[in-house]
């Protein structure tokens, strides 16, 4: 057969490798399962020089072939991956995915590699968004969107807020940009996550436009202080762009008074955005659910399934009340090569229609199907499974606080609200500065020499060891071990 100018070998070689998917994945499985047992103390840091050298190689001129890739993945890459899913890991707000989420991500990588068009994965975006909203007390009418994480979820929510505020002045900021010389503000507590400031920067509003409102003793936004700010700013002709309520701060888990903020936002016709990236899943635990009252009145809500739900990282979501407004803020505009291909009429091919048009509601065009991961996890464990996990983790933080209170070598720095417990080792007679250095050293030693890896923060000016329990693999024994190890380390260092 005449194959024209196309060399036959290229064709044959590439298709042969793609058909080896099952066999190839089966070869990775033992390395992944071994990794997931998280045996011993993290070995990667000890072997760092070795694997860094192996992985820092020049661009190969000729390919080494699939077998080599599989061997290097299994022998060099996976064993030296990040062990943030290990049971003793309680740092920051991150963990590794559970199996159903991994399977969902794999399935979408292979079979749902674009969320657009008419297919099961596009459908599952909608199903998973609907399930998430129902789980989290977000009313059904809001437009949901899966995004890469909390950073983009907040960006999209605040992008909609920007559209709302300026359209009321007869300005379309998405189309024409921001008015020169204008003054505006976003109000958030001084404990708000830094991605909110970055979002303001990216949206052209300026990081400095995020006004840090004072907090109360429990580090919640002080509504009376916000009211005063709004009054002063009104007199100074400063446009109130949005109020951001933290639905669980990353430092201590404080939940701003969302219901009071919703009242104030309604009274002043200001957009209410809730950053629930970490804490919003707390609402499923009846013991803390009342803290989230008012979220149903928010104009936008950011949540992060890749945190407490343990979806694979790269899975955030945002919900925005006004779908049309969201579309005006983020539309891609019709493009010849996109919509131009699609003629209305009966569906004869899955490519005759883009399905739910998520690409008009955020900042990605091509995007993976992330809903399937959330669907897989919720299908597996259900709302009750999430409730049991969240309640268990919140109880771990309270258990740790009890252990801290019961030991006079430890000091509780913030009463747990959700699953974060901030505490420190202490010794009578040590200055604040020495206590800080001592606790930095303790955290450092735990990270390098033990199974327990908490992170740290500053609470009311004091340096705190800060575990955040969102990891499905963590047990009560890990919590008790953390308290014990902090004491042992502190004792050893002050002896």
Ligand X SMILES: *Cc1c(COP(=O)(O)O)cnc(C)c1O
Residues that bind ligand X (CB under 6 A): 93, 149-151, 154, 193, 195, 246, 250, 275, 277-278, 304, 316
Residue 428 CB, nearest approach to ligand X (Å): 35
Q: Which is nearer to ligand X, 390 or 485 (CB)?
A: 390
* Rounded CA separation 167/190 (Å): 28
Structure tokens at 300: 């936008």
Beta bridge partners of 255: 247
Count the neighbouring beta carbons within 10 Å of the beta carbon of residue 229: 18
- The single residue listed with the structure tokens 């950053």 is 275
The nearest distance, CB 304 to ligand X, in angstroms, is 5
Position with the least CB separation from ligand X: 150
Q: How many CB atoms lie within 10 A of CB 117?
A: 16
Residues ≥6 apart with Cβ < 8 Å to 305: 132, 311, 315, 316, 317, 370, 373, 374, 377
Task: Name the residue nearer to ligand X (CB basis): 122 or 251.
Answer: 251
Question: Cβ closer to ligand X: 95 or 122?
Answer: 95
Distance in Å, CB of 191 to ligand X, minimum: 9
Q: Looking at beta carbons only, is 105 or 483 nearer to ligand X? A: 105
Exposure pattern of 276-285 as b/e (b: 16+ CB <10 Å)? bbbbbbbbbb
CB of 306 to ligand X, least distance (A): 6
* CA gap 163, 141 in Å, rounded: 19
Nearer to ligand X, 112 or 157 (CB): 157
Output 166 or 358, the one with its CB closest to ligand X: 358
Shortest distance (Å) from residue 278 CB to ligand X: 3
Residue among 394, 402, 413 at smallest CA distance from 464:
413
* Closer residue to ligand X (CB): 277 or 414: 277
Measured from the Cβ of residue 90, the count of other Cβ atoms closer than 10 Å reads 32
Q: How far is the CB of 449 from ligand X (least distance, A)?
A: 27
Decide whether 305 or 327 has the Cβ nearer to ligand X.
Answer: 305
- Give CA 371 to chain center in angstroms: 14
Q: Which of 240, 94, 59 is nearest to 165 (CA)?
A: 240
CB of 194 to ligand X, least distance (A): 8
Minimum distance of ligand X from residue 193's CB (angstroms): 3
Cβ distance to ligand X smaller for residue 328 or 389 = 389
CA angle centred on 240, ends 238 and 242, rounded to 5°: 150
C-alpha separations of 210 from 150, 256, 342, 457 in Å:
17, 16, 42, 21
For residue 474, give the DSSP letter.
-
Smaller CB separation from ligand X, 98 or 419: 419
CB of 250 to ligand X, least distance (A): 4
Q: How far apart (Å, rounded) are the C-alpha atoms in residues 62 and 330? A: 42
**Distance from C-alpha of 359 to C-alpha of 171, rounded to nearest angstrom:** 23
Q: Maximum distance among all alpha carbons in the chain?
A: 89
- Give the list of residues 6+ apart from residue 262 with CB closer than 8 angstroms, or none: 272, 294, 297, 298
CB of 439 to ligand X, least distance (A): 22
């Amino acid at each position: 057969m005449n194959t024209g100018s196309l060399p036959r070998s290229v064709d044959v070689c590439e298709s042969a490798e793609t058909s080896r998917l099952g066999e190839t994945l089966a070869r990775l499985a033992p390395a992944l399962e071994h990794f997931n047992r998280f045996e011993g103390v993290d070995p990667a840091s000890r072997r760092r020089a070795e694997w860094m050298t192996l992985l820092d190689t020049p661009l190969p001129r000729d390919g080494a072939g699939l077998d080599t890739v599989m061997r290097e993945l299994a022998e060099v890459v996976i064993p030296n991956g990040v062990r943030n899913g290990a049971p003793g890991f309680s740092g920051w707000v991150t963990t590794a995915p559970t199996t159903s989420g991994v399977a969902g991500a794999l399935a979408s990588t292979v079979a749902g590699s674009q969320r657009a068009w008419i297919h099961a994965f596009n459908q599952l975006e909608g199903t998973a968004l609907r399930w998430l909203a129902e789980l989290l007390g977000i009313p059904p009418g809001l437009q949901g969107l899966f995004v890469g994480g909390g950073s983009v979820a907040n960006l999209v929510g605040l992008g909609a807020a920007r559209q709302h505020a300026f359209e009321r002045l007869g300005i379309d900021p998405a189309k024409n940009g921001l008015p020169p010389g204008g003054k505006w503000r976003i109000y958030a507590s001084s404990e708000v996550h830094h991605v909110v400031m970055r979002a303001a920067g990216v949206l052209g509003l300026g990081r400095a436009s995020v006004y840090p409102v004072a907090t109360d003793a429990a580090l919640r936004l002080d509504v009376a202080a916000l009211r005063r700010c709004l009054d002063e700013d009104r007199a100074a002709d400063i446009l109130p762009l949005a109020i951001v309520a933290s639905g669980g701060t990353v430092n201590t888990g404080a939940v701003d008074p969302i219901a009071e903020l919703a009242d104030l936002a309604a009274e002043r016709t200001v957009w209410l955005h809730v950053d629930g990236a970490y804490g919003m899943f707390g609402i499923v635990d009846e013991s803390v659910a009342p803290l989230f009252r008012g979220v149903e009145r928010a104009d936008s809500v950011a949540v992060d399934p890749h945190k407490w739900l343990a979806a694979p990282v790269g899975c955030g979501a945002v919900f925005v009340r006004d779908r049309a407004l969201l579309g005006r803020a983020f539309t891609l505009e019709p493009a010849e090569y996109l919509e131009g291909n699609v003629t209305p009429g009966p569906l004869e091919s899955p490519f005759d229609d883009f399905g739910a048009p998520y690409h008009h509601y955020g900042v990605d065009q091509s995007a993976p199907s992330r809903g399937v991961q959330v669907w897989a996890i919720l299908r597996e464990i259900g709302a009750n499974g999430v409730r049991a996990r969240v309640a268990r983790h919140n109880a771990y933080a309270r258990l740790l606080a009890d252990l801290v209170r019961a030991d006079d070598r430890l000091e509780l720095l913030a009463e747990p609200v959700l699953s974060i417990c901030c505490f420190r080792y202490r010794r009578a007679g040590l200055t604040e500065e020495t206590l800080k250095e001592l606790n930095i050293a303790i955290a450092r030693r735990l990270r390098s020499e033990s199974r327990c890896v908490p992170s740290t923060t500053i609470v009311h000016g004091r340096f705190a060891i800060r575990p955040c329990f969102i990891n499905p693999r963590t047990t009560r024994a890990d919590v008790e071990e953390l308290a014990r190890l902090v004491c042992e380390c502190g004792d050893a260092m002050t002896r």
